[in-house]
Structure 1
Amino acid sequence: MGNRVTREDFEWVYTEQPHTQRRKEILAKYPEIKTLMGPDPHLKWIVSGMVLIQFLACYLVKDLSWKWIFFWAYAFGGCVNHSLTLAIHDISHNVAFGNKQAKWNRWFAVFANLPIGIPYSASFKKYHIDHHRYLGGDGLDVDIPTTFEGWFFSTPLRKLLWLFLQPLFYSLRPLYVNPKVITQMEIFNALVQFSIDITIYYLWGLKPIIYLIAGTLLCMGLHPISGHFIAEHYMFLKGYETYSYYGPLNWLTFNVGYHMEHHDFPSIPGCRLPMVKKIAAEYYDNLPHHRSWIRVLWDFVFDDAIGPYSRVKRLCKLAEKKLTD
């Protein structure tokens, strides 16, 4: 468990991200893909059902012993909450109500956030736009680990710890890498979230709150579904910075595994991304992809060639401008 990762820096490139050019080529050859863009009419009902299920679970766990609270938080509640974070990911692209109803999408994301226990949706949207626009951008894309993470979490045991602590790094990294002014939507998100948390505590006590928050933290850490964090953009093969996953967990995660397709067409909801792959098969079938998120986590921990440094980075003009201002 002591072998160190062989990489000592990120993979620096001096080219634009590949998704822009591939999008142009695919749309020129298959213009019918434009018909896949637009809202998913089922998303709001699926998400509403998941939120209600979690509120029902809060009532059901209020009298359980602590060991069963944490068991159900990891085995069930956290899976639902992680799925809701990926619904929020989809909603951040305005696919719940469409681009013409941007505010409805933001408010609905706050609603989807409620079982997560911690205000998340408004901040996620603020930074996720940069992730798409400046993929791998130094100082802009906060999805990329810091230099400290790449240096310190470089042995199997440390990488395992890093996976467990992923929620902490994802929440704190933006404040260090690319701090932004708090928005009114973030304040609204926090007020609504904490109001619901207090209400649940008043009605049913502390255990349901622990059930929700512990589930969120545990299942966004060392959990099979969390394999998508590593699978999406960690460089398993040199020269490839985005990977799709074509496995059964897509059913629970709003097809976030179709990640190459998503970055090519972020305005297409997850439910239609398999159709993108089917229509433009020659663009995707020969690209490297994953079949198992559990295998992704295993390889990340035990492969000496892979670690937090295994990310493609590039300098973007906006970042250079920030440094000179």
Structure 2
Amino acid sequence: MGNTATRDDFEWVYTEQPHCSRRRQILAKHPEIKSLMGPDPQLKWVVTAMVLTQVLCCYLVQDLSWRWVIFWAYVFGGCINHSMTLAIHDISHNVPFGNKEAFRNRLFGIFANLPIGLPYSISFKKYHVDHHRYLGGDGLDVDIPTRLEGRLFNSPACKVLWLILQPLFYALRPLVVNPKPITRMEVLNAVVQLIFDGLLVWCWGPKPLVYLIAGSILCMGLHPISGHFIAEHYMYAKGIETYSYYGLLNFITFNVGYHMEHHDFPSIPGSRLPLVKKIAPEFYDSLPQHDSWIRVLWDFVFCDSLGPYSRVKRTYPLPKDK
């Protein structure tokens, strides 16, 4: 875990991210991994089933009391919605239809966005590209907390509050760290979402919409599945900026736990990431890894050396459009 002193700055490094060089090494030794790249048509059917499940749930909750609406939002609906955000992550990598069908992938992402209740998919795609290209990049990677977050949320109670407010920080941080112009596809995402939300309220009243939005916010905050937000890139071992998790929750999160493998090979769908580790175990077995997302959250809150500052940062030459 490193020392017990509270961090007062990020871990600044002056080397390139490790994923590029490891990718070259792995492909040199295991060129057959290239066969795992490409679309996974099954994803669109899984996502469609999840959307329809949430629409059915919206119908079922319309007559429940408010406390049961919130209960089921946290226990069930929010889990599906958090899983859907990770499906949107795969969609942002063009998994459903392949790289040659970018527009169809964006439209499908808007469809997958419907149960989340708030427009998200297109904006996520816009910034997620930078997260891979400029991992840890100062002013570029909006997955990195701001200095204000690092200074304010460094005690156990404050870190719990920070975890609860994760959805808010993920929504607002890009506007502060790396603001970009709103695109037409983002407008379309918002309009389609507004129409869907309006139809829910018109057909079944406000409870279905509260069920969806509350579930999205609650389960992206303090929730076992949300352990992946911290597990992926927070520095639990000094200088190590990406970690994998190989536990059971991968089955409902599109294998996002295979995060080291994902950053090494972002063009491989989540469904095939376990095969990367199976083919090239010598590159992954010895790396630091997590065995529980709940334990990740516990350690993050109660270990003094962990907090929003526990991230590796580096500088990149700014893109020409910055």
The reply to whether TM is greater than 0.5 is yes
Q: Equivalents in 1 of 2:264, 2:318: separation in Å? A: 21
2:134 alignment partner AA: Y
User: Residue type matched to 2:259 in 1?
Assistant: H
Following superposition, the deviation at residue 5 of structure 1 comes to 5.9
Say if 2:192 is the partner of 1:192. yes
Distance 2:93 2:318 in 1: 22
Looking at structure 1, the residues matched to 102 and 162 of structure 2 have their Cα atoms a distance apart, in angstroms, of 35
Question: Given that residues 5 and 155 in structure 1 are in contact (C-alpha distance below 8 angstroms), is that contact kept between their aligned partners in structure 2?
Answer: no
Preserved CA contact (<8 Å) 1:136 1:144:
yes
2:82 and 2:276 map into 1 onto residues whose CA distance is 25
Task: Please say if 1:258 is aligned against 2:258.
Answer: yes
Counterpart CA distance in 2 for 1:48 and 1:143 is: 28
**Matched residue, 1:217:** 217
Aligned to 1:67: 67
Partner of 1:270: 270
SS in 2 for 1:143: coil
Q: How does 1:138-177 map to 2 (within 5 A)?
A: 138-177=138-177
2:65 partner amino acid: S
Measured in 2, the distance between the counterparts of 1:258 and 1:5 equals 30
Partners of 2:10 and 2:202 in 1: CA distance: 48
AA in 2 matched with 1:260? M
How many angstroms apart in 1 are the aligned matches of 2:79 and 2:149?
A: 26
Q: Distance in 2 between matches of 1:233 and 1:121?
A: 21
What secondary structure is seen at the aligned counterpart in 2 of 1:304?
A: coil
Per-residue CA deviations over 1:150-193 (Å, capped at 9, x if unaligned) read 01101000000000000000000000000000001100000000
Q: TM-score, normalised by structure 2?
A: 0.98
* Counterparts of residues 83-94 of structure 1 (less than 5 Å): 83-94=83-94
Deviation at 1:39, TM superposition (A): 0.7
Cα offsets for 1:73-114 (capped at 9, x unmatched): 000000000000000000100011101111111100000000
Identity between Structure 1 and Structure 2 (%): 73
1:105-120 residue pairs with structure 2 within 5 A? Answer: 105-120=105-120
Whole-angstrom CA distance in 2 between matches of 1:114 and 1:212 = 9
> Hey, what's the Cα distance between the residues in 1 that align with 2:189 and 2:281?
40
CA distance in 1, matches of 2:56, 2:205: 14
State the distance in 1 between where 2:102 and 2:179 align: 24
Instruction: Give 5+ residue unaligned stretches, structure 1.
Output: none
Structure 1 residue 205: Cα displacement: 0.4
The count of corresponding residues between Structure 1 and Structure 2 is 319
Give the 4+ runs in structure 1 shifted more than 6 A.
Answer: none
Give me the whole-angstrom Cα distance separating, in 2, the residues matched to 1:96 and 1:160: 36
TM-score of the two chains, using structure 1 as the length reference? 0.97
The answer to whether structure 1 residue 121 and structure 2 residue 117 are counterparts is no
